[in-house]
Amino acid sequence: MSNTTHTVSCTVTAAKTALSMGSGSLEVFATPAMSALMEKAAAELLQQQLPDGDTSVGTQIEVWHNAASPVGVTVTATAELLSFDGKKATFTLRAQDEFGPIGEGSHTRAVITASRFMDRLAQKKPVQK
């Protein structure tokens, strides 16, 4: 894989706070929002290497959210590819805001054929109670 890191960013808005997302009671950048930003960086990095029709899905994510970010600041997340065997990719993740590091973690993604995945999903039936 030619590119082994990818960075994405977002501005902390009211919609991305713990209060709005239901993960806490404060108007600070929510852990689920940070996790999603980190996963986006990994997904975009891997997608650059996949053929048309293939995509990836997250199968594992572990994050530590170490510092709060207020509304209005920019948060960046960087994914670094550790390994990729053609079917599974593993990443390290880092996030920071304008004041310094705010989080880190690890992530695994599985490569899938989008049409096959969606066909199988359409076959799912609700569990009978």
> Residues within the annotated binding site for substrate?
58, 109
| DSSP per position, the chain | ----EEEEEEE--GGGBHHHHTS-SSSBB-HHHHHHHHHHHHHHHHHTTSPTTEEEEEEEEEEEE-S--BTT-EEEEEEEEEEE-SSEEEEEEEEEETTEEEEEEEEEEEEEEHHHHHHHHHT--PPP-
**Active-site residue identified among 7, 27, 31, 55:** 31
The answer to whether residue 31 is catalytic is yes
Instruction: Indicate which residue of 39, 78, 107, 108 is catalytic.
Output: 39
Catalytic residue among 6, 17, 65, 107: 65
Please state the residue numbers annotated as binding site for CoA.
58
Binding site residue list: 58, 109
| Catalytic-residue membership of 27 | no
The set of catalytic residues is: 31, 39, 65
